[in-house]
Amino acid sequence: MSMRLRPGDRPDGRAVERAVDRSPSGPARVASGPMRSHLGDMIRKLPSGEYRLYSRKKNPRTGKRRNLGTFRTLAAARRHERAVQFFKRR
């Protein structure tokens, strides 16, 4: 990961640090905040190449996020995340 500064991202004109992942597996992704990826709020790519969906909230007792499923494709993980959000708001 390399860090780069882009001016004009803030109203006062100061630059904001962003992390850019230029991995050979796909296009460059700009991460906002402390090294967040563009895979969605809580979808993370595993070393095996699969994608895992985590709960947005941390368990206050353990401090970890709940595993909401592991998927072979990013599209499948995003579909499941949308379904979870739909049923939460029902």
pLDDT in tens, the chain (90 residues): 554 545 555 556 555 555 555 555 545 444 444 444 455 568 999 999 999 999 988 999 999 999 999 999 999 999 999 999 899 888
User: What amino acid occupies position 90?
Assistant: R
Say if CB 23 and CB 37 are below 8 A apart. no
The pTM for the full model equals 0.53
CA proximity to 74, closest of 34, 35, 42, 33: 42
- The per-residue pLDDT for 15 is 53
